[in-house]
Structure 1
Amino acid sequence: MYKVDIQADTKDAAVIEARRNREKQRQSRIFNARYCKMGVDVESLKRQVEERKLRDEAEKQRSEAFDAYRVRYDKIAQMLEEEECQRRKQLNQAMVEFWEREQQPFMRREWDIHDPDAARKDFPARVSDDDPRCGPSSMQRFDGEDVNAQAKIKLQKELNKLTLGHQISQREKDLNDQKYADILDDKKRIELDLRALELTRLEEECRKAKAMAVADFNRAQAAEIAEQQRLAHQREQDDNFTEIHNHLTSNILMESPDLAQSVMGSHRVITSSWKGMTRAQLEAVQKTQAEQCKENQRLREEERQRDAEWDRQRHLADRAAMEMDAQEQNFRQQLRKGLDDYNRELAEAQKAK
């Protein structure tokens, strides 16, 4: 598995910045005496719902992309592991066949010492007059008894010739075996280089995918901030035009006799001409304030739950990244250990020759 870094700091900073912007907008609506309204701001709630849906959709697409990449890399790792198992099996089979073909007990130099049938294969002390084992110290043949000296010399030359030919063929065989071992070593080295290149390419693709995801998230966040600024500017202009219009059409300028009645609604009055609220109006205001307190508590609870869910998701992502790092490290250690074992076995086989 391969390493996947999720930039938690950037994500946390974006969440904090969005929260601050929402708090500033809420304060501007609450503490603005000219536009403060009793009740719930339906437009703001709708806008928050839409923003939450967009964030959830973006997060879902991002999670699906990461899941697809993770499944793909798992399949690639399984394929590489199966190929490695097949190669090891073939190498072990070749080594066993080599042992059975080239390293039999009777091929050893000291086989004549450890041969269990040596007594049955041995010859008597003297077979004939030309027995080559009967030397001066054998007390089996004395000077003057050797009548086949020329034949023995000829036989010795033929034996030397056969021995030399056997040594030459053995030398050629050893050279061919060394050349074959070198070819196998070169092929193994090339295969390991290709595998390292493949791993590097996969890591680069993962890094590019992560960079693209971060760039898409940043562009979406920048577009969202720009749209919020545009809407804030538009609302400010609308508020300014509304204020100008209210001043132009106010009761003071129009000299209306009904000075205590506000043009903003039946529930709005002019404080300079207002004589006080009725008991029913006071009860309605208290009821509205209680509902607003409950709504604020509910919104704070939802905000706390969202923050807890973000923290849990971030913790899961960090733990997944750590597990992928550990798996990648374990895979590299196993690969290195297998290569060391293979090189050690080759060295031992060459020493045994």
Structure 2
Amino acid sequence: MNVELSSEREARLSLERRRHREAERRLRVFDDKLRTMGVDTDVLAAQVQEKKRQEGKAKQEQAAFDADVLHQSKAAALLQNRQTKQKLALQKALETFRSQNQQPQTRREFDLNDPDSWKKTDQSDAQMILPGLVGEDPAKSSREQRQKEQLREWLIQQQAELDASRSRQEEEEQRHNRSREETLNRAGEHLHLQAERRKEAAVATQNYNLAMIEEKHRRKQQNDPDYDQETAAVPGFSPSADVRPPPETVQQVIQFQKYQIQEKKRIEMEKKQEDERHERVRLDSARAALLMERRQARLGKQLRQQLDSANGQLAQTHKQQSVRPRQPSRPSLWRLKHLLPVARLVDRKPDIERGQIDESFFLKFNTCSR
């Protein structure tokens, strides 16, 4: 007697339910009349109904909100109109009260500001202003006279101060001129004294030189043995002992300047030639780079043309082979070199790309419901 456990029974029932669901699903999916590309129409219909219900609910809420807003707007407009009418009525009542009970004639100080008071006053009631009241100036003439005298005194004082300042300035200028003249005179005297001193020194030197020359001649005539030693020790008396290089002449200076100018021109010319050489090298390099770039572009274009022609020939060959079989011929060297690698790549393509499809291709579909 086989006893079935509860766990086994539940597992068996669960397996049967799954198998039943899978069979129903397989029938529904593989049936052309019931299948809708794997989409559950009932769920979609339920979703559509739910969406419509939500949209209807949202429309109802929006309509209720709009109605409430419209009601509140109308109430606010009515309240504003009421307040405006009340404000206008209050202003009208205020103007009416002022026109009836607050006229200018009823004010206490109206008689002071009445523009028609002179019309209402009689000539007999009019009174003259008493002397000494505010607004009357009986000492006007004397005051103006004192002001004129004070102004005259001020002008005289200012003129005196101006004259004094001018006199002080003139005195200062005179003192400055005198001091400058004294300084110039003192400087002239000093220069004159220096010139006199230089003149006296020159005369003394000349006298001393003449005396020395006379003494030299005298000793030379007397054949003094000490004369040779003294002349050898004193510079200027022995031409052989006091030999100095002659100073540069003007012609030598001009020649040296010309040499400097020529040297500068030569340096500038060398620099210019160096710049021109660098420029030529740069232009040659740019020209060579441009020629190389053009050559590379031309080679690339030729390679693309060769590749396009090879692809075209390969496509033509493949098309002819697919239309009718060709007799095998002996391939040329160029064909073996260029077309064979491409043909190998074409042979590696799947059957669907080569146009050869058999029944095994369709057996790959609908093998499972998943």
Q: TM-score, normalised by structure 2?
A: 0.26
Structure of higher RCO (CA pairs closer than 8 Å, 6+ residues apart): 1
Bigger radius of gyration, 1 or 2?
Answer: 2
Q: TM-score, normalised by structure 1?
A: 0.27
